[in-house]
Structure 1
């Protein structure tokens, strides 16, 4: 392999003078990913606010940060970046209270449907916010490495992209999901659709089917989708969260196949969730041998460093592009909406024998 194939970039450049971070929301994702990532990267978190005062106090004490007594107190922090680690239904109300022109990072998804995403986009525009959505899979070490392989020319022209997941997801860890109309694509596979957009651009359309399972309490836990790109690109996604037959044949991988090379990566956090297994990245040049590229970190929590650094660097003028801006994220939400609309339509019937 060439040198760039052996050592592709796996991290986003650090912000030179990062602003203080104020976290709004104190759910499990904050303690499991946001706070460990920011501490690892030396990004300064000054405090946290959650409607649950006990949770606010507990998380703040564990991480040595200020427990804000109210949202108004939290957003009064000067020169802050606001990390909205909130359920999608809460984003718009908080955005409307942020200081005009403030930078903000919104937890994905950007609303529960496209109508909410549009309302959030308009609210962010009206407040003149510099706002991004936390589609952090783009910033994971494995995906930064694959993107570097792609932009360097090592993959050649991408012609085939596949996400395949045959896993057992413990939905009971999120009791609030029970009764939600939309679950699997909106809260899980949205990452994969966003990543395909990141590499391939916006598709012309999507064919999708999402459905539940007799042994799960959430509305959907299995999805198949084909993204419609101009030839020669084929992009597909197959997700089954109900493979409850032990770890032997569970898998979760992305394959990016080009005219010159192919990269396959394991998304380890989805195997034996939430403990997970290590991510892996393998690369093969046409005519060569498969070689493993050592990874410098994992999706959780390392990817959360990159998405915050991109926002911090963008507001400081160090990055030219805000990779997951609300403007770009709206397009991912439009793709999600199209997937649900496709799933709701009847399939083309097979002709009856004459």
Structure 2
């Protein structure tokens, strides 16, 4: 098997990080990843100062008494791991020209995404969104395989999810009008955009399930990439009939090869299973050994790229707000499509 890129190399000199937010994404993903990579954490700010202090003590850093103290630390990357509604006010307070990493989604809708983009432009912020699926080891490896021509030209992308997602773990979702695409499948459409670019259109349906209080948990989506590329997503988070026929996988087909990806974290969540990547470049299927999985190793790639940009080793901040706005535009278009009637079927003529 040819060597495929699965990670992004950190710079020798690491830039410290200030974290805004002390929720589960910080405790379960950001801080463990920073610890593994050796990235220094200058401190944590959260309006719940007791919560921030407890988390800071657990991970050997400090908690800021107020946001002004966090903002005053020079030469850092600002990690905004906060709810979407809190993002604009923090961005406005950041020093002009600062580097920031923002937790997805980029606002709750395209209007909010545009507000975030406008603030970043006005202040000259170097801001990236934490759409991290594109940095998972199997995702980086697949992208490298495509870049090396191992699959030929990509002509098919199929995402198939049949899961039993425990929505009860996130009680706040019950009252939200937008859930499945905005908070889950957004990762998949961002990854597809990274591979194939922006589609010219989308046709979508998203809906709930009789057994769930969450507004939408099932989605069908078709992205328009012209006459040669077929791209479909079938997402069902309510397939509650045992692990045997559940799935969380992508099938990517080219003119001279194909790939199969399994995203294991969603299977038997939150326990999860290992990710997988299989390639067939003409001599049968071969599994690619992976160095890790989506989530945590994907965070490594995301954080490493921001570090490389901050160190001046890369001129482009990948997954920037400029790029991520297009992911949000695709999400918005999917919801707009889902709100419209499908093309009607003609009725039979009168006898």
Which consecutive aligned stretches of 4+ in structure 1 deviate over 3 angstroms post-superposition? none
1:309 equivalent in structure 2 = 304
1:9 equivalent in structure 2 = 5
| Aligned-pair CA distance for 1:169 | 1.0
Q: Which structure 2 residue ranges, 5 or more long, are not aligned? A: none
User: Aligned-residue CA RMSD in angstroms?
Assistant: 1.0
1:164 equivalent in structure 2 = 160
Alpha-carbon separation, structure 1, partners of 2:169 and 2:67:
27
Q: 2:249 aligns with which of 249, 253, 256?
A: 253
SS at match of 1:12: coil
| Aligned-pair CA distance for 1:276 | 0.6
SS at match of 2:47: coil
1:214 equivalent in structure 2 = 210
Q: 2:61 aligns with which of 57, 61, 65?
A: 65
Alpha-carbon separation, structure 2, partners of 1:335 and 1:168:
26
Alpha-carbon separation, structure 2, partners of 1:293 and 1:230:
30
Conservation of the 8 A alpha-carbon contact between 1:16 and 1:313:
no
| Aligned-pair CA distance for 1:120 | 0.4
1:189 aligns with 2:181: no
1:103-130 Cα deviation digits (max 9, x unpaired): 0000001000000000000011111110
SS at match of 1:214: coil
1:344 equivalent in structure 2 = 339
Q: Which structure 1 residue ranges, 5 or more long, are not aligned? A: none
1:278 aligns with 2:274: yes
1:293 aligns with 2:326: no
1:234 equivalent in structure 2 = 230
Alpha-carbon separation, structure 2, partners of 1:15 and 1:210:
42
| Aligned-pair CA distance for 1:16 | 2.7
1:319 equivalent in structure 2 = 314
1:79 equivalent in structure 2 = 75
- The two structures have a TM-score, normalised by structure 1, of 0.97
| Aligned-pair CA distance for 1:46 | 1.8
Alpha-carbon separation, structure 2, partners of 1:175 and 1:49:
24
2:149 equivalent in structure 1 = 153
Deviation larger for 41-50 or 265-274: 41-50
